[in-house]
Copies of this chain bind each other. A is one copy, B any other.
Amino acid sequence: MTALPRKVEAGTATDVADIVIAGGGVGKTFGGGAVVALEDASFNIPKGSFVSLVGPSGCGKSTLLRLIAGLIERSSGSLTVHGREVSGPHADVGMMFQRATLLDWRTAVENVLLPTEIHRKPTAEDRSRAVELLKMVGLKDFVFSFPSQLSGGMQQRVALARLLQTGADILLLDEPFGALDEFTRERLNLELMRIVAEVGATTLFVTHNIGEAIFLADKVMVMTPRPGRLARMVDVPFARPRRPELQQTPEFNALVAEVRDILGTH
């Protein structure tokens, strides 16, 4: 374990071989240095862990995800995924964007099948999985609807189904449930946890809901407002599998308060 600057705990002591995503002083500026979106972020994310990322609006969360996905180039620092420097989009990473970015000319199920199509001709199995995923996100009746026929939350759910269809072992989710009501959100949280556990995927999850962040994660990464920095990595000690009731326990609420405190003081 390398020493990490800026008080960010590196999480539990894990074998270096088990670190899937590692950032060392990652920075990103836009407009030729005019806007510092992310500064000096160092972190290690172990294999199979679920990390939530919280922070004020505009602090660089989406930017960090896009850096990890290799969609934009960092301005400074080092960033490795599976031990290899990130230099462009790479396999094994699935990303769900803040905006649903569905393709207008494809029905819901065809949108979900897209990641598969990118890699091979979809089999009957792929298809049935796609339909299953849509059912799971509660869109049983909208399998063949086009995006413009869906509500905002429904579009987000299609995008989630599409992410899960990738079968990637690193999942990056950018506010996936922003447009969902509490109940749907809760259900999908559980489903997401289940699937992630099943696959053993490493997950980075951006959310503004601190309760959700804690409920889902092994660790919560807290970011400061602009210029975006990692303020703290908070360990979540609760055992898995977790039940919704967990959220009513005092320990849980204490942790929520702690994270809120960290956010509030920065």
Name A's B-contacting residues (CB within 8 A): 30-31, 35, 54-58, 61-63, 98-99, 138, 141, 149-154, 156-157, 174-175, 178-185, 208-210, 226, 260, 263-264
Q: Which residue of chain B is the closest to A30 with respect to CB atoms?
A: B149
Is A182 in contact with B151, judged by CB distance below 8 angstroms?
Answer: no
Q: Which residue of chain B is the closest to A223 with respect to CB atoms?
A: B181
Is B154 in contact with A182, judged by CB distance below 8 angstroms?
Answer: no
Is A98 in contact with B152, judged by CB distance below 8 angstroms?
Answer: yes
Residues of the B chain whose Cβ atoms lie less than 8 Å from the Cβ of A56: 181, 183-184
Q: Which of B179, B182, B260, B263 contacts A263 (CB 8 A)?
A: B182
Residues of the B chain whose Cβ atoms lie less than 8 Å from the Cβ of A30: 149
Which 5 residue pairs are nearest across A and B when measured between Cβ atoms?
A: A57-B153, A98-B152, A178-B178, A181-B208, A58-B151
Copies, count:
2
Q: Which of B57, B152, B185 contacts A151 (CB 8 A)?
A: B57
Q: Which secondary structure characterizes the binding site on chain A? A: mixed
CB of A215 to closest CB in B, whole Å: 15
Residues of the B chain whose Cβ atoms lie less than 8 Å from the Cβ of A54: 181
A selection of 19 A-B contacts at a CB cut-off of 8 Å is: A30-B149, A56-B181, A57-B151, A57-B152, A57-B153, A57-B180, A58-B153, A63-B151, A98-B179, A99-B99, A141-B226, A152-B174, A178-B178, A179-B208, A181-B263, A182-B209, A182-B263, A183-B264, A185-B208
Residues of the B chain whose Cβ atoms lie less than 8 Å from the Cβ of A209: 182
Q: Which of B141, B154, B264 contacts A57 (CB 8 A)?
A: B154
Is A175 in contact with B149, judged by CB distance below 8 angstroms?
Answer: no
Bound form: Cα–Cα A154–B63 in Å: 13
Bound form: Cα–Cα A185–B56 in Å: 10
CB of A89 to closest CB in B, whole Å: 20
